[in-house]
Chains A and B, each alone.
Chain A
Amino acid sequence: RKEVEQDPGPFNVPEGATVAFNCTYSNSASQSFFWYRQDCRKEPKLLMSVYSSGNEDGRFTAQLNRASQYISLLIRDSKLSDSATYLCVVGVFNKFYFGSGTKLNVKP
């Protein structure tokens, strides 16, 4: 079983749409949670950390449910520039585990 699982997509949405990504993790000892963004042929970059109380950064909202071992990312008012692959990441002790990513295509 994979440590982190994500729907690979692609999610094809029009500009202005709201889109949600989900992610599940298998290790109950997981300590830290993140969403990264990866553009084509580039390195991943941190989008936001995910906290138990949920957190928001502009159009992006992340939620964590430790009981269900589930993480989500909500993007409101999608922009063309949001097109990328979104990676769910879980930290356990000194290691990080990445989901395979969810691809988002925002269309004009």
Chain B
Amino acid sequence: SQTIHQWPATLVQPVGSPLSLECTVEGTSNPNLYWYRQAAGRGLQLLFYSVGIGQISSEVPQNLSASRPQDRQFILSSKKLLLSDSGFYLCAWTVSGTAIGTQYFGPGTRLLVL
């Protein structure tokens, strides 16, 4: 069966510090991968998605970046965090192809930028 891991679960970082969040998927090959952010009391905002290694599509201009160095690994990064980067970061995967399949989410990372 497929599983998706995210770490860390919780992170408190000062403004201006770097960020690296990791997501890995097990039990499937060539998944579509997604990063979302959910601000407190708000809906999910799509940040990045990837249909293959090295292929990253950015949805929202921001100080974040994403990379997919391996088929089942998706990394979200920032060189300098802003207060507005605080939120609940969720990684998700679907079977490759168009967005007709179910999305499965990791447990998420709660980021607080102070």
Listed in ascending order, the chain A residues whose CB lies under 8 Å from chain B are 31-32, 34, 41-46, 49, 87, 89, 91-101
Contact = CB atoms under 8 A, between A and B. Distances in A.
Contacts of B104: 46
Interface string B71-114: 00000000000000000101010000011111111111010000
Contacts of B46: 95-98
A87 B108 CA distance: 17
A105 to B, nearest CB: 15
A92 B108 CA distance: 23
Interface of B: 32, 34, 36, 42-44, 46, 49, 51, 57, 59, 88, 90, 92, 98-108, 110
Contact of B98 (A43, A46, A94): A94
Residue with the greatest number of chain A CB neighbours at <10 A, chosen from B59, B101, B102, B110: B102
Contacts of B92: 96
A99 B43 contact: yes
Contacts, number: 58
Given A34-B102, A43-B105, A43-B106, 9 more contacts: A32-B101, A41-B110, A44-B105, A46-B102, A92-B99, A96-B99, A98-B43, A98-B44, A98-B46
Given A94-B99, A95-B99, A87 B44 contact: yes
A34 B103 CA distance: 10
A85 to B, nearest CB: 9
22 contacts: A31-B98, A32-B99, A34-B103, A43-B107, A45-B105, A46-B102, A49-B102, A87-B43, A89-B103, A91-B98, A91-B99, A92-B99, A94-B49, A94-B51, A94-B98, A95-B59, A96-B46, A96-B99, A97-B46, A99-B43, A100-B42, A100-B43
A96 B34 contact: yes
Contacts of A49: 102
